[in-house]
Amino acid sequence: MTSGATGRRPPGPRGADIVRALLNFKRRRVLAFEDLARTYGEVSSFHCLGFKLYVVTGAEPVRHVMVTNADNYVKSSGGRRAQRFFGQSLQTTPGAAAKPRRQMLATMLQRDRVRPFADVAVSATRAMLDGWTAGEVRVSDAVMDLILDIGIQMHFGIGPREDSRRIRDPFTDALRRLDGFLQLPPPFPTRGNRAYARAMAAYDAEILPYIAKRRAEGGPRHDLLSSMLETRQSDGQVLTDRQICHELTSTLAASFFTTAAAFIQVLRLVAQHPQVEAQLAAELEGALQGRPPGFADLDRLPFTAQIVKETLRLCPPAGAMVRVAVDDDRIGEWHVPGGARVIISQWVMQHKPEWFPDPEAFKPERWTPGFERELPTFAYFPFGWGARNCIGQPLAMLQLQLMLATVAQCVRIEPVRPTPAAFTIDDILESGGLVLRVHPRTA
Ligand code: HEM
């Protein structure tokens, strides 16, 4: 791989084929990247609505963007819609300017610091299960509620039985309206923009007084708000209430849909594979003997962790990442102009048969320590990669492993209707959500 401004434009859809490619994206979403790779090769490009889109799917091209010339490929700031909700937070700050804030947040989310959240995840999951009766359960709705309950408790210390609805309703409302694709930017008083502004105002009206009240009360508590109130930035200053609001809102948003999508897929895949479910139940019985799981059990539940890893491979919640090229570059023989949007897809890379034999099959047993050691970084990166990878990974893995252990310990689950192993979360939600048949386990 060489850098420089020369090279040819990569192949890709042109003319009427661009419309076909866009319709394919609408229909197949992340799977459309596989279609592009199959038709045009490891690097393809097309220009659309003023955007220059480059889709990079081979090991060497991906390594070039993520490692070799990573400084030339920055995260996008998310645009003005995202900045209204998240301000100048880590998520919306591209390049080196994000470093101090990232360090601060990553420290708060280290594995030993998130230890108290293990019990939060287990007790919230048990509360969810208390609401399930034998028979068919709309599991996707229950999981969305669960992850939001846990997220609000971890971020703000507001428990599911306290008044978290005040926060969750305007939060989910604003999040739903955030996607501004094909919408005019916020200053334009369109209907969508006015509704978005109203949702954010309602959210601010709840969250800002709550942060001020917590600052006035003082004293440490086991939540991220408490850590943020105590922390000092590199210049010695504390964060303002508004900065804390933006940062917590943005991590809550980053964690909510990803973790919920992952857990919905975990439950779907376990339900569809009775042998996996039986092996999981045996591991839980042996390690826990009927008591609820906790942080100390994580290393004693290796098969539970393997199920999570294989799910994140087969159906990664973040199916693709976007980078913006700062300057002109060359990837192999191909020219990439400055300003181009470069798309790297976990979905495509994690389904390659050269690293994952029988890639469309759900095989938790493939995740042996030896297999993991041999796996190249660019073959598996559900939590991203490099300088802007996911700082919530330890927390997400902890949550997923403990939530799965809690569910599988209390109930046996079966599919109501079959779905392909590699089925996207959008497919699940658009086909009416995930419904499973639930059988309580007798003690
Ligand atoms: C299964 C669950 C999760 C998945 C699959 C996931 C995936 C990802 C990915 C792929 C990225 C990189 C995006 C990019 O490079 O463009 C990312 C970034 C990020 N994630 Fe996660 N995430 C998960 C859970 C969480 C949790 C629980 C938190 C925090 C509580 C979190 C906080 C963040 C933040 C703050 C960033 C931005 C980092 C930066 O810009 O430097 N995520 N996540």
Take atom 3 of ligand 1 and give the residue whose Cα is closest: 258
**Angle (CA) 389 395 397, round 5°:** 85
Take atom 21 of ligand 1 and give the residue whose Cα is closest: 390
The pLDDT of residue 181: 55
**Angle (CA) 410 412 415, round 5°:** 140
Q: β-strand 321-325 against 73-74: which pairing, if any?
A: antiparallel
Instruction: Using the atom order of ligand 1, give the atom closest to the CA of residue 387.
Output: 41
Instruction: Using the atom order of ligand 1, give the atom closest to the CA of residue 151.
Output: 30
Take atom 16 of ligand 1 and give the residue whose Cα is closest: 321
Are 30 and 317 within 8 A, CB to CB?
A: no
The pLDDT of residue 343: 95
The pLDDT of residue 443: 60
CA of 256 to the centre of ligand 1 (A): 10
Instruction: Using the atom order of ligand 1, give the atom closest to the CA of residue 389.
Output: 12
Instruction: Count CB neighbours of 234 within 10 A.
Output: 10
Bridge partners, 325 (sequence order): 73
Are 433 and 142 within 8 A, CB to CB?
A: no
CA of 254 to the centre of ligand 1 (A): 6
Rounded Cα gap, residues 320 and 306, in angstroms: 22
Q: β-strand 341-344 against 51-56: which pairing, if any?
A: parallel
Rounded Cα gap, residues 313 and 382, in angstroms: 7
The pLDDT of residue 182: 55
Take atom 19 of ligand 1 and give the residue whose Cα is closest: 390
The pLDDT of residue 17: 92
The pLDDT of residue 183: 64
The pLDDT of residue 88: 87
Question: Which domains does the chain carry?
Answer: 88-318+350-440 (1.10.630.10)
Rounded Cα gap, residues 261 and 428, in angstroms: 10
The pLDDT of residue 147: 97
CA of 318 to the centre of ligand 1 (A): 9
- Which residues have any ligand 1 atom within 6 Å of their CB? 75, 90-91, 98, 102, 109, 251, 254-255, 258-259, 262, 317-318, 321, 382-384, 388-392, 395-396
CA of 385 to the centre of ligand 1 (A): 10
Are 143 and 263 within 8 A, CB to CB?
A: yes
Bridge partners, 414 (sequence order): 437
Take atom 13 of ligand 1 and give the residue whose Cα is closest: 384
Q: What is the DSSP string of 292-317?
A: PP-GGGGGG-HHHHHHHHHHHHHS-S
CA of 286 to the centre of ligand 1 (A): 33
CA of 287 to the centre of ligand 1 (A): 30
Q: For the chain, which ranges sit under pLDDT 70?
A: 1-5, 180-186, 443
The pLDDT of residue 253: 94
